[in-house]
């Protein structure tokens, strides 16, 4: 018998508790020197990424012991086949956070394995609850599948702006080959939108599209934990979240939008 997913509200409550706990850890270290575990050409890994992931995992498994975690810093082996799983990015926007730029968030999603695959993703999972928490602005974005998207409890919806009036955000993953595609996107898109923005957190960019601040977000080579929660929040706010697995290492090409701007955007990508 397949395990039925846990009740959506208890899942959301657990994810909010965990996100706020990690957010407090981030805020407490905002002005302190952060220990770097690894630094590459276009990325930084902090000791705090690991500490936040451990804290989030502790809170989530205390409330839902049978659900494994798929996380940026560590994953349970069974998370690739379990009936339900948490998908966690403990600090999305790590480079911003490492540089003292207060634009980063905790991203936590609950996914269930689908049979049949109505969401249609290659991994067979669909997101049923999502939380993106920005501890610096104290903004908590939430959604449960079938319900509204909310910002600090208040319903939010995507904008109605056309591409010509859009603020379009782009993500720069820094993976090999991403610079030429980024340059091409900037060259093609900048004449067709009002403004471009590259802010360094996919989770917050998706939440901003859901709140009608941004009108679309495009990134190639992003990871599932960066976008799982934000994708549900956008869909629950009336937007479109289109993702395609690219390459063998689980990276994703993403186009998220208010719907109207996204339809025009597809011609230029
Ligand atoms: C970040 C993403 C961002 C991407 C960065 C990085 P992280 O996630 O949110 O969109 O462009 O390369 O992947 O690594 O800070 O959790």
Please give the pLDDT value at position 1.
40
Within 6 Å (CB) of ligand 1, which residues are found?
Answer: 72, 89, 92-94, 171-174, 200-202, 219, 222, 226
Atom of ligand 1 at shortest range from CA of 49:
16
Q: For the CA atoms of 162, 163, 166, 170, what is the dihedral angle to 10 degrees?
A: 140
Atom of ligand 1 at shortest range from CA of 226:
9
Separation of CA 27 and ligand 1 centre (Å): 19
Atom of ligand 1 at shortest range from CA of 92:
16
Please give the pLDDT value at position 213.
98
Written as six digits, the tokens of 182 are: 């980024």
From the list 202, 209, 239, the residue with the least C-alpha distance to 223 is 202
Mutate to test the pocket of ligand 1, among 42, 92, 170, 217 (most ligand atoms within 8 A of CB): 92
Atom of ligand 1 at shortest range from CA of 175:
12
Distance CA 108, CA 176 (A): 27
Mutate to test the pocket of ligand 1, among 201, 223, 228, 230 (most ligand atoms within 8 A of CB): 201
Please give the pLDDT value at position 4.
55
Please give the pLDDT value at position 2.
44
Q: Give the DSSP per-residue string, 164-186.
A: GG-EEEE-----TTHHHHHHHHH
Please give the pLDDT value at position 180.
86
Based on C-alpha coordinates, what's the Rg of the chain? 17
Please give the pLDDT value at position 6.
66
From the list 88, 83, 76, the residue with the least C-alpha distance to 126 is 83
Nearest residue (CA) to ligand 1, atom 4: 173
From the list 88, 103, 207, the residue with the least C-alpha distance to 150 is 207
Separation of CA 1 and ligand 1 centre (Å): 38
Q: What is the mean pLDDT of each run of 10 residues along the chain (269 residues)?
A: 66 97 97 94 94 98 95 90 96 97 98 79 89 98 97 98 97 81 91 97 98 96 95 98 86 94 87
183-191 long-range contacts (CB < 8 A, ≥24 apart) are: 185/218, 185/269, 188/268, 189/218, 189/265, 189/268
CA 80 to chain centre: 19
Distance CA 244, CA 253 (A): 5
């Amino acid at each position: 018998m397949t395990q039925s997913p846990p009740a959506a509200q208890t899942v959301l409550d657990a994810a909010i508790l965990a996100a706020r706990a990690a957010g407090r850890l981030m805020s407490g270290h905002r002005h302190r020197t952060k220990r770097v575990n690894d630094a590459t050409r276009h990325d930084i890994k902090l000791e705090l990424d690991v500490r936040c992931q451990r804290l989030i995992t502790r809170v989530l498994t205390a409330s839902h012991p049978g659900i494994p975690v798929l996380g940026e810093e560590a994953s349970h082996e069974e998370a690739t086949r379990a009936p339900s799983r948490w998908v966690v990015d403990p600090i999305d926007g790590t480079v911003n956070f490492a540089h003292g730029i207060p634009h980063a968030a905790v991203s936590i999603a609950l996914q269930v394995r689908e049979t049949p695959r109505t969401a249609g993703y290659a991994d067979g999972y669909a997101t049923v609850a999502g939380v993106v928490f920005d501890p610096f602005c104290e903004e908590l974005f939430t959604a449960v599948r079938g319900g509204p998207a909310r910002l600090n409890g208040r319903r939010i919806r995507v904008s109605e702006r056309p591409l010509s009036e859009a603020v379009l955000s782009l993500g720069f993953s820094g993976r090999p080959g991403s610079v030429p595609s980024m340059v091409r996107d900037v060259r093609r898109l900048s004449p067709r939108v009002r403004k471009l923005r590259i802010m360094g957190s996919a989770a917050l960019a998706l939440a901003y599209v859901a709140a009608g601040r941004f009108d679309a977000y495009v990134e190639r080579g992003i990871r599932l934990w960066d976008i799982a929660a934000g994708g549900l929040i956008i869909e629950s706010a009336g937007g479109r979240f289109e993702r395609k697995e690219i390459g063998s290492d689980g990276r994703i090409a993403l186009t998220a939008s208010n719907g109207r701007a996204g339809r025009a955007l597809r011609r230029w990508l």
